[in-house]
Amino acid sequence: MKKTISREPPSGAPEGTVWFGGPVDRWKVALRVYGEELDPDRISALLGCQPSSAQRKGNPFPKKGRWLLEIDSKECGENDNVDDGIRILLARLPSDSGVWVSLTSIFAVDVFCGLFLASSNRGFGISPEVSRLLSDRNLEIGFDVYLDLPSQVAD
């Protein structure tokens, strides 16, 4: 059973209580495919789904072609975390290792995670299951962490 970690301070906390810890407040995960000769339609056919966004090289200005499939925490359940997001992303894609061998031998392919924190000391983990899913597909994973203070969002 998945343990729920609150994103909010406990009710009745004294005014001025500083809340540390907890899960990442907001996240985005994406499968990214890049290459000089990338044909977005070919990647879509190979992966059996349409991208969130895609462009061919030079159209209008990219140095390389790209194909992206994104999952945003805003589209998921309130208690879904980064690990869940990666699992949801990979569930939309084929598990056939031959597809991934072909794709990763021709193109630069990875999973990218943008993590947005409204407070310090947030955390997450990647489960052995998700690590295996990434490894089975020969996918590197990268993380960018952003401080996303409420005052910055309002500006």
Query: Per-residue pLDDT tens for 74-112?
Result: 998 888 899 999 999 999 999 999 999 999 999 999 999
Structural domain includes residue 144: yes
Question: What's the predicted TM-score (pTM) here?
Answer: 0.83
- Round the average pLDDT of the chain to a whole number and report it: 88
Residue 8 has pLDDT above 70, yes or no: no
How far apart are alpha carbons 96 and 130 in whole angstroms?
16
Domain-located, residue 11 = no
Cis peptide before 40 (omega within 30 of 0): no
**pLDDT score at 82:** 94
Q: What confidence tens digit (pLDDT) does each residue in 111-142 have? A: 999 999 887 788 899 999 999 999 999 999 99
The neighbour count for residue 65, using CB atoms within 10 Å, is 22
Residue 21 counted as domain residue: no
Quote the number of domains for the chain: 1
In-domain check, residue 52: yes
Domain-embedded: residue 13: no
What domain range includes position 115? 26-154
Whether 17 maps to a domain, the answer reads no
Domain for residue 79, yes or no? Answer: yes
